[in-house]
Chain A
Amino acid sequence: MLWTTIVLALREIKRNVMRSFLTILGIVIGVGAVITLVTIGGGATAQVQQQIASMGSNVLMVTPGKRLGPGQSSNTPLFKVSDGEAILRQVSSIAAVAPVSSQSIQAVLGNENWSTSVTGSDNEFFRVTNRPIKTGRKFSDSELRGGVAVCIVGETVYKKLFGGQASLGGNIRLEKLSCQVIGILEAKGQNTMGMDQDDIVVIPLRTYQRRISGNQDVARFQVSVQQGASTEKAQQDIRLLMRERRHLSQSDDDNFNVMDMKEIANMLTGTTQLLTELLSAVAAVSLLVGGIGIMNIMLVSVTERTREIGIRLAIGALESEVLMQFLVEAVVLSSLGGLIGIVAALAGSVWLASVLRVPFVLNAGIVVIAFLFSAAVGVIFGYFPALKAARLDPIEALRYE
């Protein structure tokens, strides 16, 4: 019985290719849009998480001021190198502390001129930020202590200035400072905010202080916590230590920030997720509109086929059989629409993911939900018009024009 009905329904669909195609178009687009957006959104979120993980695990960032980034109030005291040494010495679970100061600068080699950023730090910088040196070497102790003019460049700077030619030992000019290139960093690509992380020149902190900034300040510390140790505990310890060192009384607020990468990650993924949800909501509306489209066409097609229903009833089809045929037709059509939508969405997502350079993360849940929704639309909107027609007296249905 069911098999016969399915065969009948498939015949009808095949017989009316154009009508069938128009019926499912809305569902195809709706299902496709929802799945594509959710997949790409998921990919973007995963990418943010990956990049944050690659920034170094268990990393804390200690910055002066009350907020992350620029815009600190002017009277906030900055850090000194000794603050970092105190953190390393007095907080037990700390693995490494890298003092970091940086600013943008013009780098020059011969006729080549490139605007980049210079970072003053020490060898811990490479460890904490998880950036190994590809060729060349780290800074030597004497270079760090003596503030010697040596530098390690990122991939982008290397390509722009040297055109990719091997040239360790050569000199580049950072404004008035001429420094010898002793190493090249491994490429890392763009960060979450779309900034090129390879557009960087690293010099010893002391060199930076003496020759570039002209003061003894350190803009921030990047701290890595020992494997297995609690980041929250380390965060809390650093906070207490810094309060003490900065002579804050009980009533004073912190005039510095100790941020966990997880917090930064949450902040960033939160934005991506919100965006994904918004776009998915828009796509869900299009799915709903697709459903209404199916309803309209079902309604019209059943009305148009009233005479066919009359013929079937007259030659001995039961009301339930006619109903079942229409129901199966509707479900097959909308499921087909759902399937085509899924296939299109997967193909589209794979393509979009490669264009947008985000990983392809399949969300099986949304695929199932979108498919069930399309099938449900078919059942609901196929059932009621067909029920109305199948309940007619055969002779009335036959007379229908």
Chain B
Amino acid sequence: MAINHTENQPLIELQGVTKVYGTGQAAMHALRGIDLRINEGEFVAVMGPSGSGKSTCMNILGCLDTPTGGIYHFKGIEVGKLTRTQRTRLRRFYLGFVFQGYNLLNRTSALENVELPLIYRRVPAGVRRARALKTLETVGLKGWESHTPGELSGGQQQRVAIARAIVTEPAVLFADEPTGNLDTARSREIMDLLSGLNRDRGITIVMVTHEQDMATYAKRIVHFLDGLVAVDKQNGGTT
């Protein structure tokens, strides 16, 4: 896959993206035509009420789902024209995911969970282990490597999930309500961690949340309403 990415090109560009679930009378229009550009290094919070299409948009951005209409460019590549395998490779090499429900493998140690994406990247065992350990340390889980998700608290599980997402050093980190299952104190820790990663490592972060508190950590906030972008502003001022 050839990536012709240039400086002035946005990392992510959506043009009139729509998503329809079902057909005919029962058709549900989740996205009605989204235009969105996200540049490298941004920290974007996507907000909106339930059913406004923010999660659907996120799944399309993460190449987990395909749009019904419109065009999605990632690093200048038209994602809609890629095959399933090519989209998987895109996820494997450029994208990282953090979900509200953590989505860790059960009965699998934190270390093994973090190693998983590296296995699919064919990283040799020794390097893999070293990187996974280092990343777990970064998210503050040194000493918890051999614990399974069942033995970790929600906040710790989400840290493992974040470690798993960033261990590959992705171009973009997609986080779908990463603090949705956590109390305020744990939520703040997670948000500090994310904004730190954005600030220090320059990882682009796109985060879905419905909590205003969490959105304030982002540099830019996009509001969704009824499948359309309602407000798009820099944090502190409208663009």
Q: Report whether A312 and B116 are in contact in the complex, using a CB–CB cutoff of 8 Å.
A: yes
B146 lies within 8 A of chain A by Cβ: no
B29 lies within 8 A of chain A by Cβ: no
Query: Measured between C-beta atoms, what is the minimum distance from B91 to chain A in Å?
Result: 5
Q: Report whether A395 and B65 are in contact in the complex, using a CB–CB cutoff of 8 Å.
A: yes
Known contacts A314-B97, A319-B84, A393-B65, A398 near B122 by CB under 8 Å: no
Among the interface residues B62, B95, B103, B122, which one has the most CB atoms of the partner chain A within 10 A? B103
Write the chain A residue with the least CB distance to B59: A395
Query: Measured between C-beta atoms, what is the minimum distance from B170 to chain A in Å?
Result: 10
Q: Report whether A316 and B122 are in contact in the complex, using a CB–CB cutoff of 8 Å.
A: no
Query: Measured between C-beta atoms, what is the minimum distance from A388 to chain B in Å?
Result: 15
Known contacts A11-B112, A15-B108, A311-B103, A316 near B93 by CB under 8 Å: yes
Q: B residues within 8 A CB of A275?
A: none
In the complex, the number of residue pairs spanning A and B with C-beta atoms less than 8 Å apart equals 64
B105 lies within 8 A of chain A by Cβ: yes
Name the prevailing secondary structure of the A interface residues: helix
Q: A residues within 8 A CB of B108?
A: 11, 15
Among the interface residues B105, B107, B122, which one has the most CB atoms of the partner chain A within 10 A? B105
A313 lies within 8 A of chain B by Cβ: yes
Please provide the chain A residues from 289 to 321 with a CB less than 8 Å away from any CB of chain B in the complex. Answer: 307-308, 310-319, 321
Q: Report whether B88 and A308 are in contact in the complex, using a CB–CB cutoff of 8 Å.
A: no
Q: Report whether A315 and B97 are in contact in the complex, using a CB–CB cutoff of 8 Å.
A: yes
Query: Measured between C-beta atoms, what is the minimum distance from A8 to chain B in Å?
Result: 7
Q: Report whether B84 and A316 are in contact in the complex, using a CB–CB cutoff of 8 Å.
A: no
Map CB proximity to A onto B45-86 as digits: 1 under 8 Å, 0 otherwise: 000000000000001001011100000000000000000110
In the assembled complex, the Cα of A143 lies from the Cα of B122 at a distance in Å of: 94
Q: Report whether A318 and B85 are in contact in the complex, using a CB–CB cutoff of 8 Å.
A: yes
In the assembled complex, the Cα of A15 lies from the Cα of B62 at a distance in Å of: 30
Q: Indicate which residue in A4, A16, A319 contacts B107 across the interface (CB closer than 8 Å).
A: A16
Query: Measured between C-beta atoms, what is the minimum distance from A346 to chain B in Å?
Result: 34
Write the chain A residue with the least CB distance to B92: A316
Q: Report whether B107 and A315 are in contact in the complex, using a CB–CB cutoff of 8 Å.
A: no
Q: Report whether B120 and A15 are in contact in the complex, using a CB–CB cutoff of 8 Å.
A: no
Please provide the chain B residues from 97 to 123 with a CB less than 8 Å away from any CB of chain A in the complex. Answer: 97, 99, 103-108, 112, 116-117, 119-122
Query: Measured between C-beta atoms, what is the minimum distance from A254 to chain B in Å?
Result: 78
Write the chain B residue with the least CB distance to A393: B65
B164 lies within 8 A of chain A by Cβ: yes
Query: Measured between C-beta atoms, what is the minimum distance from A205 to chain B in Å?
Result: 83
Please provide the chain A residues from 258 to 303 with a CB less than 8 Å away from any CB of chain B in the complex. Answer: none
Q: Report whether B107 and A311 are in contact in the complex, using a CB–CB cutoff of 8 Å.
A: no
In the assembled complex, the Cα of A316 lies from the Cα of B85 at a distance in Å of: 10
Query: Measured between C-beta atoms, what is the minimum distance from A321 to chain B in Å?
Result: 7
Question: What total of chain A residues lie within 8 Å of the partner, measured CB to CB?
Answer: 23
Q: Report whether B121 and A316 are in contact in the complex, using a CB–CB cutoff of 8 Å.
A: yes
Write the chain B residue with the least CB distance to A310: B103
Query: Measured between C-beta atoms, what is the minimum distance from A350 to chain B in Å?
Result: 38
Write the chain B residue with the least CB distance to A394: B64
Query: Measured between C-beta atoms, what is the minimum distance from A25 to chain B in Å?
Result: 21
Q: Indicate which residue in A8, A311, A319 contacts B85 across the interface (CB closer than 8 Å).
A: A319
Q: B residues within 8 A CB of A311?
A: 103-105
Write the chain A residue with the least CB distance to B167: A315
Among the interface residues A1, A15, A315, A319, which one has the most CB atoms of the partner chain B within 10 A? A315
B147 lies within 8 A of chain A by Cβ: no
Known contacts A15-B107, A15-B108, A316-B117, A398 near B88 by CB under 8 Å: no
Q: Report whether B89 and A316 are in contact in the complex, using a CB–CB cutoff of 8 Å.
A: yes
In the assembled complex, the Cα of A217 lies from the Cα of B92 at a distance in Å of: 97
Q: B residues within 8 A CB of A321?
A: 120
In the assembled complex, the Cα of A398 lies from the Cα of B91 at a distance in Å of: 15
Known contacts A16-B107, A315-B116, A316-B93, A4 near B122 by CB under 8 Å: yes
A-B contact pairs, 28 of them (CB 8 A): A1-B122, A4-B119, A11-B108, A16-B107, A307-B103, A308-B106, A312-B116, A312-B120, A313-B88, A314-B97, A315-B116, A315-B164, A315-B165, A316-B89, A316-B93, A316-B95, A317-B88, A317-B120, A318-B85, A318-B88, A318-B120, A319-B88, A321-B120, A393-B64, A394-B64, A394-B65, A398-B64, A398-B99
11 other A-B residue contacts (CB within 8 Å) besides A16-B107, A314-B91, A393-B66: A4-B122, A8-B119, A11-B108, A311-B103, A313-B88, A315-B97, A316-B95, A316-B121, A317-B120, A319-B85, A393-B64
Binding site for A on B (CB under 8 A): 59, 62, 64-66, 84-85, 88-89, 91-93, 95, 97, 99, 103-108, 112, 116-117, 119-122, 164-165, 168
